[in-house]
Structure 1
Amino acid sequence: MGGILVIDSFSLKQVATYDEFGINLTDLKKINFIYGANGSGKTTISNFLFDPDHVRYNHSSLNWKNHIPVNILVYNKAFRDKNFGKGNIDGVFTLGEATKEEIKHIEKQQNELGELKNKLVKKKETLDKQIEQEEQFGLDFREKVWKGIYKKYEKDFKEAFSGVMRKEAFMKKIIEEFQSNNAKHLSYDELKNRSKTIFGKVPETLSIIQQIDFKRILEIESNNIWIKKIIGKSDIEIGKFIQNLNLNDWVNEGRNFIQDDTCPFCQQNTITSNFKKQLEDYFDESFTNHTNLVKSYKEEYNRLAVNLINFLQQIETKEKNNPDSKLDIETFTSYLKTLTSQFTTNKEKQNNKNKEPSRIIELISVKDQLESIQKIIIDANDRIKKHNDIVANYAVERNNLTKEIWKYIIGENNGDIEDFIKKSNGLQNGIDSLRKQFQDLRKQYIDLEREIKTATQNMTSIQPSIDQINLTLNSFGFENFQIDSSETENNQYQIRRKDGSLAESTLSEGEVTFITFLYFLQLAKGSTDQDSITDERILVIDDPISSLDSNVLFIVSSLLKEIIKSIKKDEGNIKQLMLLTHNVYFHKEVSFIDGRTKECGDTYYWILRKNNNVSTLQKFETKNPIQNSYELLWQELKSKNNISIVTVQNIMRRIIENYFKLLGKYGDEDLIKEFPSKQEQEICRSLIYWINEGSHTIPDDLYVEHPEATNEKYFKVFERIFFYMGHYEHYKMMMGIQDKEKVKELSY
């Protein structure tokens, strides 16, 4: 099918009658015929193609040729229900008001659009192949350098490959070094000897230890507040008494317990307003400010001390666990213990000062201890810097050696690497050129598509579809109703009788089926949307002749054969057809090519079967398995492993009835008596027991089931009927048997 955009394949699994194995339709052609009895699973196929993204089809898949989807129009029972029985029917737009010249011009543009799409598809195929070739070329080179270079030098120079010990990374490194490495060229032995020295244990860069900040701690520690005796005002009458008895702190603490006129000390009602006033005057604002300052400094000092101790303990822990530590850890730990003890003592003194503001305290100075710790850290950092300088120089030496190793490797494989880069660049240039051509074609396509839609926007109408449907109805004798849009709005149809009354509710089932199918055919040529009447589409038609008589069946098959011809010639916007039917005669009629041509490369055939409520599929490719009813019976009998014993008996009965009873004028006993043994006569009798029941014609809805265990006796007796009756050549012809020795097996 070249570059035409169609469905390439699809599968149905774990839905309706399709089990976990399901069915797979692969290599779909322009025309695809699927024959299957009622209930075999055809409607599930058409429903899936209508909405493949529905959650019920999670285990199924739909694959597009060239990965580009096309609009799918589905005709099935759901389509008939949706478009008939709701009153007004959505109108189908076609090119109605355009002149012949305008239509011809649009058709020419559509052909150009189709050619552009084919060019786009082919260009995309070429681009994808070029990309695939470039990727494969890269994969081949990747494997080559991995096996030929990495594996060869891995033992001696593995350290030089650090960071690129994966195939893709190693290949990229090879190309990078080829393009940029300017190191000096050393011999293999020189590089190997230097590697033993430099690629030993790698010293690591050490982190600088953060210095401590204790300025604020010393500021608080040296504040005069700690040696200041904080008392109330001495010129207050009660003040002299308090100070003479040295009760300042005791009274200060006790006044916090005064609630009313009861003394918190003697519990007598001795607290007067004058006494309260004297206490307030004694413990004035100055006293309060100083006591608050003590409390504030105490809290800040202790917070800073705790944070500093925690920080120094972290340094201690880290450096103890570092085997390469440059810190004098023993001295550091000793100073840290002393500092911790000093902070604890100062904390206790500050608590006392806070509780007894009049007390004079002298804090232990931690300055010397902190400066000693700071010096240890500074000395350690000096040693760390010297160590890191050594590491940096080592890194330079190691880096130089690594570059020299890569230089050697590049030199040894220069030709292969150069050839790869040259060819890879050529392939990439080709890809860039193809991508630009593809983008240019895509722009042309989009511009032309927009031009066509603009041109058709003012030329579309639903009237041509009305006229065409009515013309077809009249041509085939449906004269008592027609399609009309005179009393509708929004471009819709109605079905009316000649007297103008609505006919929808009084139409027969056959009339409904026929008119909805005609509507579908118009929809296949146009669209209910003015902007998409020229879009390409795929038709899926499921049993279009249900409830139709033989005359209308012929009409429908004729209409479909015209569409099939157009699809095969790549004319129009219908690009693919899938037709599903249970009717043998309709299948035979619509799939008929001509009297000379038996097969067509654009057409594939399948038979859908169901047994034990599981649907399966048999592929016949270009060979039509359904020629006529009699041939179909033999065709099914040859597939005896794919049908049940019940079906086998029925098929055998119908063949015997048609060939011997109707054509040969033989009776039941004429057949039975030819068998020599009593047992075989009884089996033959059971085979033809129902021969006189039912119709003397072969139904068009023959149901072909999935294989079950077969009874070989039936097949032997059936074969011997033809042998004993002298018609064995006919049996061999219909079963496709060419073995001449077969006769010897049957004559005993």
Structure 2
Amino acid sequence: MITEVDLSGTPCFAPDAKLTGLKKINFIFGPNGSGKTTLSNKIQTINLDDIETEIEDIAVFNRDYIKDSFRECQAPGHITLGKENSALKDEIDQLTEQLEQHKGKLEDTQTKIEDAERERERLLDVTQSSIGPRRKQLTTIFKDYNSLYPKSAPLIPGNNPTLFAKLLQFKSSEDATLSTNCDTIEKILDILKQIPKADATEILVPSIPDTNYTLSSIETILSTTVTLNNDSPMSTFINKHNLHDWIRRGLATVETDNLSSCPFCQQKLTDQLISELKNVFDDRHTAHIQAITKANETIKTYITNCETLTTSLATNPDYKSIDYNTHLTIINKALNEIRHTQSKLEQKANESNKILSTGLSEDPFQTIREQLTLITSQINHHNNAINAGKSKRTEAIRNARTALYKYLTGVEFCDILDTYLQTLATINLKTPTEADISSIKQKITHIHTETDNKLSKMTQVGEKMTFINQILTYIGFNSFSLTTPEQTSKLSSPEFQSGQYILVRHSNDGTNNPIDTSTLSEGERTLLTFLYFITKYYKDGKGSSPTANLLSTLLVIDDPIASTDAETFFLITNIIRRLLDQVSSSNNNNSVKQVIITSHNTRFLKEVAFSFLNERESDSKACYYSIQKGQTGSSILGPKASSLITNEYNELWAEVRRCNKIVVQARKSHITPQAFPLLGNTMRRIIESYFLDIGGLGTITSLSKSTDRSTATLLAFCNSSSHSSIGSDIYDILHMDSFKLLTAFKRVFETLDGGQHIGHYRMMMRDRPGDTSQQNS
């Protein structure tokens, strides 16, 4: 099993949030907007290779699954559940035929290339052999002058292939076009005789890496902080809570991913809010970030250049004649200090408004510059001692080799080279190229990819369709059902494969007509996708069983009863309860080995957890959690051996009690209470749930005209037709003092209907046993 999920850094959740102590069966309650879907998506991204667990696969049902799995097709009534397509088999047959054609073409092309390669090898062997006798003669002629050249590069190589390769290389070089008077071997020998011998060789002077940065300039960057734009109304709040970098990274994510909701809390973002947030960071802040980034990249490049240079100085044999060990030790120490400096710049890039320092007292850049200057001085001194007259000698040695190979390619082996190149060109002209091979292979790879993609989408739908139709009939959906584009007689064939269904309506005359899928409600879409999803794992007790050979699976089910009616609610609840009984059974042969269920609906959680509510703590296979929204993000309470969930209405009151307790304690201590951004929304849901069912909308509308501004604002917010936009009412609520907001909430119950509801308020505000919000406040 998976026992822990680390949620740190996950949007919506507090920095240190974790889901720990997971058992075989797990129930998680969380109000809307608390991060349940985010949690399920986070679980789906777990890399099972990185942990020790029997779980081999993770299957997640949430709103993202519904969106991806339920697709309307162009034909009336046609839908796909999953990624399947009814035309996949024909398309795969066509791809298979294309594949065989390309494989045959590839085989023919490779045969032609192999035949041509054998022709080239035979041509090369014959040509290299033809120059052998004369090569031996030339080796003897020029052997006394090989000391002028490196041992690895004598004037005449010691074997035919190497000489022939050098002849071809020279013939295609620019040196072959140079004009010389050396048209005989004797003239070349005269040039070689005039070159003096020398034992010493010059050492290459290395280039010194440079950077415009000093320790002082880096310290300035690290210690610089930029205040926010004081013209922005949000700057005070952001400064107070040190939210600069958090908001900056959030804005970057919104712009990069073109998001319409906050990546952290999932609340909808308006153009006005984004504009106000951007206004917080002016040009000075942007320039500050750019300066940090530029310094970081420049110093990384400087480190790489220094490392390359020091490695060359330490390992290149040409530098062994000079002792650099002391200098290199000092340079490497300074490099370590610069690496430390670069890490501070990376930290500064993430915490741009935090004052940092390298803690260094000496400038490592200056130290490296001084040491490399000393090394360069040593090399120059060495070269000056042996460099007198060497430049002319080096030029003469180079010109002698050039003259020799000009003679060999233009006179000695001219006919042999021309014949070889002409014959080779004829072979190449009739031979397919590697580009031709690559093109065919790319087409074959593309066909394989397309075929695998389509095969992965194909599924046996007959059993799934039968199961879904049985369930639809069971819960009263008798007016429509699922069928497929093929004839009914084909459904029993094991070769029948298709991922496409037709949703048909049954008429009184017995005909079936495709229905307009756009008229399906959200609850009906949820039901169809859930049934499709669960058929893979659910055993209904009538002989059918889940798909064979499935991997050991962690099943995550997030709010499967969203927007469903009572009958659908009961059906889904019953299916999940049966599945949980199978999974928790001691002789479980189901592929599902662990289940995590999340919901905002307390009744649903109590229903699906029914079989586990009375288990002893020591024997229980289930545990219970709740998600609580806080100022720094959502946190997870649990695990608990028993469920503390009563109903959603009580949970809303528990949040009000928790906030009220914190405010009361803060006022007693004469400190400013913390802000609760979501408290107004919690109060709105309580007022709607309690008063709209009793008094109707009119009483709330009239009460919103109260002379008490706080009470009027709260009621106007409750009566708003849209709670997703930042209007004046919600802006007032979000910025209202917590004590005033709690007082306004109490006055609603004191004022409405002559105060007859104040008793309910007092009852609900009492501390209650098992109130997790109170215990963790």
Same topology, TM > 0.5: no
Larger radius of gyration: 1
TM-score by length of 1: 0.37
TM-score by length of 2: 0.36
